[in-house]
């Protein structure tokens, strides 16, 4: 046994004590988390994929956004006035360079807002932009809402909408008196005519329910998306009267089950890319469910072997999307800004076997401090994911 003199013993005790100190009590020179930008020492191949191998349908974009907040009064309903986020000519230039055939604008609005969207994008540039409509949430208090919303969908399709988009408003924000009262469940029966009408009209539904797992956990030092949630505290759904994430997804899955003729595209890998076994089990149970990968390559790419098996198994039901929002910068995360670089990262992830690269064009990854590996998908799978799966749902030849 080592024999220590008194001075050595005291130094040992002090060291043990320092280890036991809580982080906030440590007195060492600490680097602020947001200042930590380590450069990787790894020397591995780095590819640039300037153009996708096949023409791309980006199934998840936002070239317009509702200008009227949910529940705002003043005679205009939610989504009935839109902000234009993109200049079509500028977007088309990026699309040409990146081999993007078509952008699907999911948040096209409704009523007058939808009309403005279609005029500026879809009709001005046929074959390059398609827009989805959104529910008229401000009408949810009306006794005749189920019928009204079903008919509204028919009107929207006549105007030129190509699908229906549900944001996470449903389940997390929409309440009995629009913005007040109890939350309305995702599978509330008053929406049944809407789901069924979409099926009858052949309109696919892009649906976003819940959010990443980390957004339903406390924003503390154990939360792997601590920086993101600290920058956007309103993105946390931990506490208050929010349902759990599992409850939200179960309600959504009951909708899939009750409406087997309706085609659903569950955005963001069904919002559970943290657990691909879970998503796979839903795809097995619901033949009318598809998924889209926008803003989730950070999750897929940190489990590349599991993700590649997922693409192999569900190659006919995975759609390419970026969740891109054109500048100017708003509240969105940097990874979402529409740019050449954004597309190059997605292409690199899908097409190459590059290792350990950033999943977003920013010095610090916005979702969490990790890097991703490429999947190196086969040409036949790439063709389906980039274009064919979306073309089938959108009935584009």
Query: Which of 323, 332, 351, 354 contacts Zn ion by CB under 5 A?
Result: 323
146 phi and psi, to 5 degrees?
A: -55, -45
Cβ distance to Zn ion smaller for residue 268 or 308: 268
Residue whose C-beta lies closest to Zn ion: 323
Number of shown-chain residues binding Zn ion (CB under 5 A):
1
Q: How far is the CB of 132 from Zn ion (least distance, A)?
A: 11
359 phi and psi, to 5 degrees?
A: -90, 5
Sheet order of strands, 205-207 included: 164-166, 205-207, 264-266, 289-292, 318-319
Cβ distance to Zn ion smaller for residue 323 or 354: 323
Q: How far is the CB of 60 from Zn ion (least distance, A)?
A: 6
Task: From 158-166, 230-238, 301-309, 322-330, give the range in contact with Zn ion by CB under 5 A.
Answer: 322-330
Task: From 17-25, 116-124, 186-194, 319-327, give the range in contact with Zn ion by CB under 5 A.
Answer: 319-327
Q: How far is the CB of 85 from Zn ion (least distance, A)?
A: 12
Q: How far is the CB of 295 from Zn ion (least distance, A)?
A: 7
Cβ distance to Zn ion smaller for residue 49 or 207: 207
Q: How far is the CB of 291 from Zn ion (least distance, A)?
A: 14
Q: How far is the CB of 208 from Zn ion (least distance, A)?
A: 7
My answer on whether omega of the bond before 343 falls inside 30° of 0, hence cis, is no
Task: From 43-51, 80-88, 249-257, 318-326, give the range in contact with Zn ion by CB under 5 A.
Answer: 318-326
- Tell which residue, 111, 62, 103, 64, has the closest CA to residue 83: 64
Task: From 141-149, 302-310, 315-323, 379-387, give the range in contact with Zn ion by CB under 5 A.
Answer: 315-323
Cβ distance to Zn ion smaller for residue 61 or 255: 61
Q: How far is the CB of 207 from Zn ion (least distance, A)?
A: 11
What region, left, alpha or beta, does residue 24 occupy, with left being phi > 0 and alpha being psi -120 to 50 degrees? alpha
Cβ distance to Zn ion smaller for residue 323 or 358: 323
Q: How far is the CB of 323 from Zn ion (least distance, A)?
A: 4
* 344 makes contact with Zn ion (CB under 5 A): no
Cβ distance to Zn ion smaller for residue 54 or 173: 173
Cβ distance to Zn ion smaller for residue 227 or 323: 323
Q: How far is the CB of 324 from Zn ion (least distance, A)?
A: 9
Cβ distance to Zn ion smaller for residue 273 or 352: 273
- Tell which residue, 117, 91, 237, 250, has the closest CA to residue 172: 237
Binding flags for Zn ion, 265-304, as an x/- string (CB under 5 A): ----------------------------------------
Cβ distance to Zn ion smaller for residue 58 or 351: 58
Q: Is 187 exposed, middle or buried (0-12, 13-18, 19+ CB in 10 A)?
A: buried
- Binding residues for Zn ion, per CB under 5 A? 323
């Amino acid at each position: 046994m080592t024999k220590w003199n008194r001075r050595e013993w005291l130094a040992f005790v002090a060291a043990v004590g320092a280890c036991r100190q809580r982080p906030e009590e440590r007195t060492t020179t600490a680097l602020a988390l947001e200042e930590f930008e380590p450069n990787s020492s790894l020397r591995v191949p780095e590819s640039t994929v300037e153009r996708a191998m096949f023409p791309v349908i980006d199934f998840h974009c936002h070239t317009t956004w509702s200008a009227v907040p949910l529940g705002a009064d003043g005679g205009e309903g939610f989504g009935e006035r839109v902000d234009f986020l993109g200049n079509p000519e500028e977007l088309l230039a990026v699309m040409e360079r990146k081999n993007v055939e078509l952008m699907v604008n999911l948040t096209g609005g409704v009523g007058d807002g939808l009309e403005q969207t279609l005029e500026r994008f879809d009709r001005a540039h046929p074959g390059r932009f398609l827009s989805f409509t959104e529910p008229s949430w401000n009408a949810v208090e009306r006794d005749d809402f189920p019928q009204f919303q079903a008919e509204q969908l028919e009107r929207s399709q006549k105007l030129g909408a190509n699908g229906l988009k549900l944001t996470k408003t449903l389940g997390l924000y929409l309440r009995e008196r629009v913005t007040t009262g109890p939350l309305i469940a995702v599978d509330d029966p008053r929406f049944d005519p809407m789901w069924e009408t979409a099926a009858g009209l052949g309109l696919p539904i892009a649906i976003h329910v819940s959010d990443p797992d980390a957004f339903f956990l406390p924003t503390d030092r154990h939360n792997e998306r601590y920086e993101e949630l600290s920058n956007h505290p309103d993105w946390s759904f931990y506490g208050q009267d929010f349902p759990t994430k599992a409850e939200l997804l179960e309600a959504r899955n009951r909708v899939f089950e009750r409406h087997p003729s309706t085609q659903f595209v569950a955005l963001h890998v069904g919002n559970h890319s943290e657990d691909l076994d879970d998503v796979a089990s839903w795809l097995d149970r619901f033949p009318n469910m598809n998924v889209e990968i926008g803003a989730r390559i950070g999750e897929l790419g940190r489990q590349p072997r599991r993700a590649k098996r997922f693409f192999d198994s569900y190659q006919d039901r995975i759609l390419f999307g970026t969740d891109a929002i054109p500048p100017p910068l708003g509240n969105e995360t940097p990874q979402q800004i529409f740019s050449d670089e954004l597309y190059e990262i997605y292409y690199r992830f899908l097409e190459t076997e590059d290792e350990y690269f950033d999943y977003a064009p920013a010095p610090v990854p916005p979702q969490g401090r990790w890097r991703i590996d490429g999947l190196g998908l086969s040409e036949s799978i790439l063709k389906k994911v980039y274009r064919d799966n979306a073309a089938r749902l959108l009935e584009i030849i």
